[in-house]
């Protein structure tokens, strides 16, 4: 069973829940307030790396075309 991350839209509580594929995420309720207004969070490390913006080396952006202007 995959472990999903959820965040309650009511009380902003983040929690993890094991959800079976047949069960679906519709029945997941917030353990804090019992609200059904929970949103599944896609927790992938690649998203955080891409979102940081600092992973791209400067050499990749400054190609031959930009360097030709200085020569």
Please report, as ranges, the residues that interact with Zn ion according to CB under 5 A.
8, 10-11, 13, 30, 32-33, 35
Residue with smaller CB distance to Zn ion, 5 or 10: 10
Structure tokens at 31: 């353990």
Q: How far is the CB of 34 from Zn ion (least distance, A)?
A: 7
Q: How far is the CB of 32 from Zn ion (least distance, A)?
A: 4
As a whole number of angstroms, the distance between CA 23 and CA 43 comes to 20
Give the H/E segment covering residue 7.
strand 3-8
Residue with smaller CB distance to Zn ion, 33 or 50: 33
Q: How far is the CB of 7 from Zn ion (least distance, A)?
A: 9
Residue with smaller CB distance to Zn ion, 23 or 32: 32
- Residues 6 or more apart whose CB falls under 8 angstroms from that of 50 comprise none
Handedness of CA 29, 34, 36, 41 (dihedral sign): negative
């Amino acid at each position: 069973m995959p472990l999903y991350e959820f965040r309650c839209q009511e009380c902003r509580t983040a929690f993890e829940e094991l959800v079976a594929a047949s069960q679906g995420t519709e029945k997941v309720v917030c353990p804090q307030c019992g609200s059904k207004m929970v949103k599944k969070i896609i927790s992938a490390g690649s998203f955080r790396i891409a979102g940081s913006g600092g992973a791209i080396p400067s050499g990749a952006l400054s190609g031959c075309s930009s360097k030709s202007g200085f020569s």
